[in-house]
Structures are given as C-alpha cells and as structure tokens.
C-alpha cells in the first residue's frame, strides 16, 4: 500500500466459498483492513449485495464504492494502489 488513506473495503461472502476465503486471505497478507459480511446469515446484506452488484454470486468486494465481482487480484490491486 502507498501512504494514502485506504478506502473502505467490504467483502460479501459465505463460509463455503473458496474464492471468498482466498480474497480475505489476500487482504490479510497485504495488511488491508476489511469488513466481512456473511450473506448466508444476513438476508438484508444479501439484498444489498445484489442491489450493488447485480449478482447473486460471491465474493462481491466493495472497495471505496467500486464493485468487484469475484476475486480479481489485478482489479483489487489497482483500486488499492498495490504494486
């Protein structure tokens, strides 16, 4: 990460999703703080995720209001300024 302020990161996930686990592990490795929302337990959050992304699948990652569907490392790196 650069010295600039990190945008808010939210991961919409489920416990059984391997790509969700990979995304969360990647954020931890890079020292990125994030909020994890389990949409299998929170129906309101699941509806919010679909409203934001247009998708039912997980992970959906919100980085500063920009939505990424799936674990797209290059797009994540670009939005967070990771080289």
Measured distance CA(35)–CA(30) in Å, rounded: 15
**Rounded Cα–Cα distance for residues 75 and 40 (Å):** 25
**Which pLDDT does position 2 carry in this prediction?**
47
Q: Does position 1 have pLDDT exceeding 60, yes or no?
A: no
**Mean pLDDT confidence for 70-82:** 96
Q: Can you tell me which residue has the tokens 């600039």?
A: 4
Specify the pLDDT at position 3.
56
The whole-chain average pLDDT of the chain stands at: 94
For 42-71, what is the mean pLDDT? 96
Residue-range domains of the chain with CATH? 9-80 (3.40.30.10)
pTM of the model: 0.92
Strands (E), the chain: 9-13, 35-38, 60-63, 66-69
The tokens describing 1, both together, are 């990460």
């Amino acid at each position: 990460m650069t010295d600039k302020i990190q945008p808010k990161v939210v991961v919409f996930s489920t416990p059984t999703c391997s790509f969700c686990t990979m995304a969360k592990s990647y954020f931890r490795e890079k020292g990125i703080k994030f909020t994890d929302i389990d949409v299998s337990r929170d129906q309101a959050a699941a509806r919010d995720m679909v409203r934001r992304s247009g998708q039912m699948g997980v992970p959906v990652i919100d980085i500063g209001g920009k939505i990424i569907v799936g674990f797209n490392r290059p797009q994540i790196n670009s939005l967070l300024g990771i080289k």
